[in-house]
Amino acid sequence: MTATAKIALITGANKGIGYQAARLLGAQGAVVLLGTRDPARGEAAAKALREEGADAHAVPLDVTDPAGIAAAARHVDARYGRLDILINNAGINVEWPAGAPSEVTRDALWATLETNVFGLVEVTNALLPLIRRSPAGRIVNVSSEMGLPAWLAGSEMPAMTAYSVSKAAVNMLTVLYANELRGTTVKINACSPGFVATDINRGVGERTAEEGAGIEVRLATLGADGPTGRFLNDGGTVAW
């Protein structure tokens, strides 16, 4: 690690979009910390990135485990003293195939919100003191157009109610955090990686994980004149 290397932590990073985001940031010289629920898979993913030349390390991190989140924050603090980039990439979708909102269950809502919303908040809050120490902290919340009422209004596509509700919450949280961080050097944005073929949709997406990771990395490396409190995809800023 060089003195100027950025320190980046990505949740859900042992596969899919999160892994590719780590790969892209590692290629740019960042120290990449792969937050993963399974330590063995995390270490295997980090080892593969190191073999490509990246400074990559696995960090046990289950976003539904408050004690584990606190331990990960302590580890980053003790080892690096700051965090420059946080990508809240971990997420689940338990509604596949999709169904009507009148069919959604409490269990589906709870499981989805626990990972996609509660976990994001706990991870962000635990690491925010370290991000504030960065000269240019960046937080990226991975979201979806399916959390935008304007995008879904009148749509005939099958509903993924719990998932859409969770991403709408992520979008609102992004605005609220941006308001809190106004006047600081920290920027926070939400993004859509697009319809990527991953485990979350049983591999039926139209884009590759590397293509989807591009927007995460661009927002993670924004310059001082970049936006904050916005929702973006590859086409640019999208109206809430």
- Which amino acids are annotated catalytic? 163, 167
Q: Please choose, from the candidates 159, 129, 130, the residue with its C-alpha nearest in 3D space to the C-alpha of residue 146.
A: 159
Q: How far is Cα 137 from Cα 187, in angstroms, rounded to an integer?
A: 6
Q: How far is Cα 150 from Cα 206, in angstroms, rounded to an integer?
A: 22
Q: How far is Cα 207 from Cα 204, in angstroms, rounded to an integer?
A: 9
Are the CB atoms for 17 and 142 separated by under 8 Å? yes
Q: Please choose, from the candidates 173, 225, 218, the residue with its C-alpha nearest in 3D space to the C-alpha of residue 192.
A: 218
